[in-house]
Structure 1
Amino acid sequence: MTAIWPDDLPCCPLDGISAGPRSARIVTPVDVGPPKMRRRGAPLRTIALAHYFDANQRARFDRFWDEDLRYGTQPFLYRDPHFNNYLLSTELGAVLQDENGVPIRIESWILCVFSTNQPTWSKRAGKFFPQFEIVELP
């Protein structure tokens, strides 16, 4: 069974995200001219995230990392930092609503794994600031 990012941990990054386009290229340098490029496998995207946790959330993250992800080696579902919770709208920008007048929000998840770099932590004023990278799987 695939693990899911715990509900009691924040899913919205602290200061946005840092992500590039999906990459599926192998680049080979040559003696003269531009490098040779070819496609390899499925394209992957690495996303850099930073959060802030209190002490309880830090303990919950450690338990998620150790037990649910077997020390960060298993894939898990994470709320899509690009599209989750955005308002659904028409082509003209009008927000779509349900029959009760409540705006409709997008719920989007991605399947990912932690990158090869383990999370790093800093602590300021009693809060923990983890920084880590996840790799979005196809």
Structure 2
Amino acid sequence: MAHPEWPAELPRPERDSWQTQLQDSRQKRLAEAGPPGWARRFSSAARLVTLSLILSRNQKAIFDRFYERDCAGGVRLFWMPDPTTDGWEMLSASGETLLDGAGNRLLLSARWLCRFGDQVPVESIVGQVEFRKRFNVVVLP
């Protein structure tokens, strides 16, 4: 069974709430004397990402359906565009936008294989007609 794809109708995450952290793959070794040492506990670490989305009522329904049905209440793996890379312009070393032969901008593409993290999505109302969904994902190595 193929992994579900993050719905294209959903907006990019808010910048203010964005937070990422590597999973700690170290194990502390206690010494009888001197400073503690560290050893690898496992060889590849996941990335833990906290984010939020501002959604219209329709986008909220799309998110809820994706979480409940497509991801089985947040337990299935899914593909998500990497918000820090996917869709951004490709730049030259001098910072100029790169173009193809027809003059179209070249865009970067990247995606994550991830699952919803420990925190289930939290919803709040923003203004009169929008919703904020806060949640975290575990990005697999």
**TM-score relative to the length of structure 1:** 0.87
C-alpha spacing 1:38/1:57, structure 2 compared with 1 (3 Å): same
Equivalenced residue count is 137
Q: Once the 2 structures are TM-superposed, how far is the Cα of residue 133 of structure 1 from its aligned partner?
A: 0.7
C-alpha spacing 1:28/1:53, structure 2 compared with 1 (3 Å): farther
Q: Once the 2 structures are TM-superposed, how far is the Cα of residue 38 of structure 1 from its aligned partner?
A: 1.8
Q: Which amino acid aligns with 1:20?
A: Q
C-alpha spacing 1:33/1:71, structure 2 compared with 1 (3 Å): farther
Q: Structure 2: which 5+ runs fail to align?
A: none
Tell me which residue corresponds to 1:6.
7
CA root-mean-square deviation:
1.9
Identity %: 28
Instruction: List structure 1 segments (4+ residues) > 4 angstroms apart after TM superposition.
Output: 28-33
User: Does the residue aligned with 1:42 lie in a helix, a strand or coil?
Assistant: coil
C-alpha spacing 1:81/1:35, structure 2 compared with 1 (3 Å): farther
Find the aligned partners of 1:95 and 1:48 in 2 and give their Cα distance: 30
**TM-score relative to the length of structure 2:** 0.85
Find the aligned partners of 2:119 and 2:113 in 1 and give their Cα distance: 18
1:135 equivalenced with 2:138 (yes/no): yes
Q: Once the 2 structures are TM-superposed, how far is the Cα of residue 22 of structure 1 from its aligned partner?
A: 5.4
Tell me which residue corresponds to 2:15.
15
1:105 equivalenced with 2:107 (yes/no): yes
Q: Structure 1: which 5+ runs fail to align?
A: none
1:38 equivalenced with 2:28 (yes/no): no
User: Does the residue aligned with 1:59 lie in a helix, a strand or coil?
Assistant: helix
Tell me which residue corresponds to 2:86.
84
